[in-house]
A and B are shown apart, each in its own frame.
Chain A
Amino acid sequence: MRLFPVLLILALPAAVRAEYQSLDELVRAYDDRPCQACHAGIHRDWNSTYHARAMVSSLGVLRDFIENGVKKEWKREFGKKELMRCMDCHAPQLRDASETLAREVGRLALTATDNRDPAAKEAALKSLGRLGVNCIVCHNTMAVVERNRLGEPLPGVFYGPSGRPSPAHGSARSAAIGSSAFCGQCHGLYTPADRETVFCTSLYESYQDRYRADGGLKSCQDCHMREGRGHRITGRHDVDKVREAIGFEADAVGIRQYPGRWIPTAVLTVRLDNRAGHRIPDG
């Protein structure tokens, strides 16, 4: 049988560390649409997740932070330093935004939440919807957990658990991407450079201090990605996943209390068993 070599040319995002001045430029640098050419199923699964909408699903909280936190409580202007307290996890590509672009994203967030013009809101949502935790964010930006030992992620290289070579892009192995430490970069307490913590979640701490301390050995990926779940990475927004995580039994009996009066009394016992590797609820 004759083999016909195929030359595959894909224009893939470089994710080069730069300071992008416009949202279009930043989105182009982190464009995940080329990934669909070879990873269509994975991309479709990911697109159903809250990772895909990590920016737009958090706009209400971001708006509160800008208006009530930064402007009223902290009495200062909103800029990139403030934006990144949220976006370092919700849209890490904004690390490469200029100060001007960061402020524009803040303005777009306020437009998307507060503007009375439905068209303006829709346009702002559409712009911001292009940001989030996408393929490049996980498989490049956040892929190297031990940056001091291994260096920054290389531009144009996509990190995965195997590092299997690809004709379409540079590939490298990341041991961390299959470990809980990878998820813990965002799903735990966040301490920015000024050391004032942002308490969005302490899920990773719950995982380490309870589940691992009690002898649990599964990783986040074992429960949330393996066994057929893949890049759907199901969690609290998936009621089937929650049902799997919470064991439930209930028994009820009727008795009559207080001899002579014999008051009908319902007695109910409910047993709940958190079978997850962390507290519920959290995220």
Chain B
Amino acid sequence: MTMGKREYREIGLDPDGYQRMGSWQIKEIIDFTLQPGKPLTERFVTELPEDTKSAEIEIRVSIWPDSKTEATVHRVVKRIGFGRGE
């Protein structure tokens, strides 16, 4: 199951506010990218099935240098438990 996803990207727009993909069409952007020197904290909260005793969470940061290629930049796996349960 996916706990959550965040995408950091730009949306290119024409003057009418329509998203455009061609650099000749784009005249302004909505900027959802990571900004330099501005650390960012993201929180994710997910409820799990009631009988879950422990879980492994994979956290992955990927970049798409072009539309066809995905490269993993950072990846870590965290293991969590849920106490004794009642």
Q: A residues engaging B (CB < 8 A)?
A: 61, 64-65, 68-69, 73, 85, 196-200, 202, 206-207, 210-211, 214, 216, 236-237, 239, 242-243, 246-248, 250-257, 261-283
Contact = CB atoms under 8 A, between A and B. Distances in A.
B63 A276 contact: no
A237 to B, nearest CB: 5
A25 B65 CA distance: 34
Interface residues of B, number: 56
A277 to B, nearest CB: 6
Given A202-B29, A253-B80, A61 B22 contact: yes
Contact of A216 (B21, B37, B53): B37
A239 B42 CA distance: 22
Contacts of B78: 250-252, 268
B45 A267 contact: yes
Contacts of B74: 243, 246, 248
Nearest to B76: A250
Contact of A250 (B9, B38, B52, B59): B59
B40 interface: yes
Contacts of B16: none
A40 B10 CA distance: 38
Contact of B8 (A197, A251, A281): A281
Contacts of A278: 36
A85 B57 CA distance: 46
A199 B24 CA distance: 6
